[in-house]
């Protein structure tokens, strides 16, 4: 499974757009990129998944360049409640039977 | 609330004691995972079930750890002869197709 590298922490202010970039240089052809969010004392929660180009849902966008060696999670207009740890994972699509490997994640702090 | 429930939420035990955690997944989910998470780290994979079959186990799951999922419904994770290094949050997740739904975890403190 491809290893991911992401910033340890990021700071932002309410209302700003936050972009968290993840590097995955040895991503395989059939690997997908998935992001999870985790609040203290809770389990991780799925945010978004993509394979290439751009994916958007009601909470975030995921940008994946053509070489797929990195990806960027974009959170529009963050609020205080977006303060959490964000994990980038690379692996087979979620509807296959495989284990998710979590790194240490990015701690996002949103300030008023 | 994701629909995955774990019990107990908190457990304090003395070193050497046995502990058991229970996970009740979302009813139609056939896949069930156990993870362990220590402070400041991401969750570490422990084991995975598809229905009642345990298909994969991490090397982290020493002989003192055992997991079961009888009848493919709820699952239990037992830790025998607990050690202080076992102190962590134990997370259960379930899925049918697609994303994993995590419970809120069972926090273990070994004194």
Which pLDDT band, with edges at 50, 70 and 90, does A23 fall under?
very high
Helix (H, G, I), strand (E, B) or coil at A82: helix
Confidence of residue B106 (pLDDT cuts 50, 70, 90): very high
pLDDT at A95 (0 to 100): 54
% of chain B exceeding 90 in pLDDT: 76
Rounded to an integer, what distance in angstroms lies between the CA atom of residue A21 and that of residue A74? 9
CB A24 within 8 A of CB A13: no
The span from the CA of A86 to the CA of A82, in Å, is: 10
Residue A77: what are its φ and ψ, rounded to 5°? Answer: 50, 70
Torsions phi, psi for B54 (to 5 deg):
-85, 105
Q: CB B105 to CB A99 under 8 A?
A: no
For A1-10, the pLDDT digits (tens) are 567 889 999 9
How is residue B17 written in tokens? 């004691």
Quickly state the pLDDT bin for A43 (edges 50, 70, 90).
very high
> With an 8 Å Cβ cutoff, are B104 and A87 in contact?
no
Q: What is each CA distance from B9 to A55, A84, A98, B104, in whole angstroms?
A: 35, 21, 26, 8
Residue of A nearest to B51 (CA): A97
Spell out which chain B residues touch chain A, with contact meaning CB-CB distance below 8 angstroms.
Answer: 2, 4, 31, 33, 35, 40-45, 48, 50, 55-56, 58, 89, 91-93, 95, 97-105, 107
Residue in A with minimal Cα distance to B93: A43
pLDDT at B97: 74
**Beta carbons within 10 angstroms of residue A40's beta carbon:** 7
Residues of chain B contacting A46 with CB distance shorter than 8 Å: 99-101
* Residue pLDDT, tens place only, B12-45: 999 999 999 999 999 989 999 999 999 989 999 8
B25 close to B32: Cβ distance less than 8 angstroms: yes
Q: Predicted confidence band at A76 (pLDDT cuts at 50, 70, 90)?
A: very high
pLDDT value at position B14? Answer: 97
Contact A87 B42 (CB under 8 A): yes
Neighbours of B73 (CB within 10 A): 14
The answer for residues whose C-beta is within 8 angstroms of residue B46's C-beta and 6 or more apart is: B33, B34, B35, B36, B57, B58, B60, B61, B65, B67, B77, B90
| Structure confidence at residue A94 (pLDDT) | 53
Longest dimension (CA), chain B: 39
């Amino acid at each position: 499974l491809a290893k991911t590298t992401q910033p340890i922490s990021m700071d932002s202010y309410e209302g700003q757009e936050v972009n968290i970039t993840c590097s995955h240089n040895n991503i395989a052809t059939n690997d997908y990129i998935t992001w999870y969010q985790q609040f203290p004392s809770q389990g991780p929660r799925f945010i978004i998944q993509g394979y290439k180009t751009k994916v958007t849902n009601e909470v975030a966008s995921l940008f994946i360049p053509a070489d797929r060696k990195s990806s960027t999670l974009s959170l529009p207009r963050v609020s205080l409640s977006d303060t959490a740890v964000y994990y980038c994972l690379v692996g087979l699509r979620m509807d296959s039977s495989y284990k998710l490997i979590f790194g240490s994640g990015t701690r996002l702090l949103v300030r008023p | 609330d994701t629909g995955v429930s774990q019990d107990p939420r908190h457990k304090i035990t003395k070193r050497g004691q046995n502990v058991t955690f229970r996970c009740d997944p979302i009813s139609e989910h056939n896949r069930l995972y156990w993870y362990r998470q220590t402070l400041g780290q991401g969750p570490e994979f422990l084991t995975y079930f598809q229905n009642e079959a345990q298909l994969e186990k991490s090397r982290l799951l020493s002989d003192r750890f055992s997991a079961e999922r009888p009848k493919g419904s709820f699952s239990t994770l037992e830790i025998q002869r607990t050690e202080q290094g076992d102190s962590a949050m134990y997370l259960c997740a379930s899925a049918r197709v697609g994303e994993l739904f995590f419970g809120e975890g069972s926090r273990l403190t070994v004194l």
